[in-house]
Amino acid sequence: MEYAIGVVVFLLIISLRQVNQYEKGVRFMFGKYNGIAQPGWRIVIPIIQSMAKVDMRTKAVDVPDQEAITKDNISTKINAVLYYKVVDADRAILEVENYYYAVSQLAQTSMRNIVGEATLDELLSERQAISEKIQLIVDKATDPWGIKVSNVELKDISLPEEMKRVIAKQAEAERERRAVITKAEGEYIASANLSKAAEVLGKTPGALHLRTLYSLNDLSSDQSNTVIFALPVEIMKAIEGFIPKK
């Protein structure tokens, strides 16, 4: 009797399986799918039954560096990170042998294909849009496996050193162009203001003489040996009156 009780206890112990809160168990009986085991302690009869546990948490797949050629024939190296989670544990086990490896390989090939459809400027300026394209493609392909891809982020885009120098020169030329335009606009505004100032000084008697005295006051603070002699404009006009006209 004690021997029989011991055998039963032993079979119970070896039949006991624990499914954690973040897992689900896919049960099989005689090799056929038999349902989903929820979290907790579950009994799996040896030989007759088996169970595969599936982690239902969000996982991150580090997509390694991929050599890709853009639409304008520029070689690049790109890596990314992909986030996904299993939403149907039974399909993740029944439809694909190793869903983690399958998602990683699919992300690599999809990333190379999408990069090949974009130019370098699009790749650098529209990273978010390209990431969304990759996410949609991988999510659609993994849907039959019971997997939901939530996000894809491009981490780094590496360019050849020659291309980096070309981009740097282009950026420098663009900055110089903006500087020339800004300087020209400043000169235009300054000339317009000077024209208005000359017009106001010409209409107001004595204004030009006061401006001359103000300029002399500014120059007098300089400790140089320069001698400045200011001749009032009124004197020049008076001298013009003595000159006989032909």
Answer yes or no: do 114 and 177 share one domain: no
CB 39 within 8 A of CB 119: no
The single residue listed with the structure tokens 């239902």 is 56
Answer yes or no: do 148 and 123 share one domain: yes
| CA-closest candidate to residue 17, choices 2, 33, 28 | 28
Instruction: Place 21 in a pLDDT band, splitting at 50, 70 and 90.
Output: very high
Predicted local distance difference test score (pLDDT) of residue 139: 92
Predicted local distance difference test score (pLDDT) of residue 227: 55
Choose the final residue of a domain: 95, 128, 159: 159
What pLDDT digit, counting tens, does each position of 122-140 carry? 888 888 888 899 999 999 9
224 vs 182, residue with greater confidence? 182
What percent of the chain is modeled with pLDDT above 70?
Answer: 78
Report yes or no on whether pTM surpasses 0.75.
no
245 Ramachandran zone, left/alpha/beta (phi>0; psi -120 to 50): beta
CATH code: domain of residue 90:
3.30.479.30
The single residue listed with the structure tokens 């992300």 is 107
Domain limits at 68? 59-159
Q: With 60 as the cut, is the pLDDT of residue 25 above it?
A: yes
| CA-closest candidate to residue 89, choices 79, 80, 99 | 99
Predicted local distance difference test score (pLDDT) of residue 183: 87
Choose the final residue of a domain: 143, 159, 175: 159
Spatial distance between the Cα atoms of 160 and 81, rounded to a whole number of angstroms: 22
Instruction: Place 229 in a pLDDT band, splitting at 50, 70 and 90.
Output: low
Instruction: Place 210 in a pLDDT band, splitting at 50, 70 and 90.
Output: low
Answer yes or no: do 93 and 123 share one domain: yes
**Total structural domains within the chain:** 4
Answer yes or no: do 183 and 91 share one domain: no
Answer yes or no: do 6 and 67 share one domain: no
